[in-house]
Structures are given as C-alpha cells and as structure tokens.
Amino acid sequence: MKIRSTTILAVRHKGKVALAGDGQVSLGNTVMKHQARKVRRLYNDKVVTGFAGATADAFTLYDKLEQKLEQYNGNLMRASVELAKEWRTDKFLRKLEAMLIAVDEEHSLLLSGTGDVIEADKGILAIGSGGPYAQAAALALVEHSDLDAETICREAMAIAANICVFTNNSIIVETI
C-alpha cells in the first residue's frame, strides 16, 4: 500500500528511540493544513505512534491499538500482532487506508492493513511519501555521525521536507 502525503520516521539509536512526523495535510495537490499532529502517545505514554494515510482511519487504528495494549498489559509486540490479525480479517477494518509506526522501549514496529508487523533490522522505519527520503537520511546519519536519535530524526525529516512536496518542516518529535 503506497501512502502519500506525509512522512513518519522512527529512529532507535544509542539506547533511545525517537519518532517524528511532519504537520502537512494535503488533499490532492493542495495543502490544507500545516501543523497537524500525526504523532501520538498511547498506553500511559509508554508507546509512541505515528500514522500515514487517511486521518479518520488512523484514529480508528490508534483506538484499536490502545485497546490491544490494554488487553495485553502494554506488550507492544503482542498487541501489534493481534491488531494486524484483526485488521486483516475484519470486514470493516480491512478497508482502512492507513499505516502505523509504533515504538516502545524494546520494539520499533511498522503495522499495515496487509497483516504486516515489521521490525527494522537497523532500528529505522519510515512511512509516507517522504518516508524513503527520511529513511535514507537517517541511515546515513546513524552510520556517519555521533548524533542522538532525536537529532537524527529532526535532521532526516528536514532533508525529507526539502525533497518531498507532501512533507513540511513543521516537525513533531516524541522520544522514549
């Protein structure tokens, strides 16, 4: 599923994890809003999530993930797998057009409606139209700098915003 119109980036580096999202909301080729908040904390602020895709669909998924986190006592991996199974098999959820990245102290996961629960090898995940640019920049910064996770997120998102027309410089970063 190709989701356009945003950039979400998670970086796990030097014992910290940061998740960033830009603030642009586009409708077709028109920018509708510049400072949307696509990054959200769940489960007593122990899990940070970011979405790409349809906003209403993403909020539905946030609610479902929060329910699963409650059900499985904050176990992000288990909650994510159970959400992915439900997302893939439920007649209503299957039609949702969004992707999520969810991080906690142990895991960085990408969740999709196709049933994917992906944990990146190098601790970097990105979704949205600017995702490949942000991911490439973050990989280079992790390899060739001494920056921390939050700074890498900010720098990589700034690079993506300079390349992707669906990404802006109104960046929100949450860290764990």
> Which positions are annotated as active-site residues?
6
Q: Which two tokens stand for residue 20?
A: 């960033």
Distance of CA 174 to the CA centre of its chain: 11
The candidate with the shortest Cα–Cα distance to 111, out of 153, 61, 175, is 61
Give the Cα separation of 22 and 38 in Å (integer).
7
Strand 16-21 relative to strand 8-13, pairing: antiparallel
Q: Which two tokens stand for residue 1?
A: 């599923």
Contact assessment for residue 18 and residue 149, using Cβ atoms and an 8 Å cutoff: yes
Contact assessment for residue 109 and residue 80, using Cβ atoms and an 8 Å cutoff: yes
Give the Cα separation of 168 and 57 in Å (integer).
22
Q: Which two tokens stand for residue 47?
A: 């899990």
Give the Cα separation of 64 and 43 in Å (integer).
12
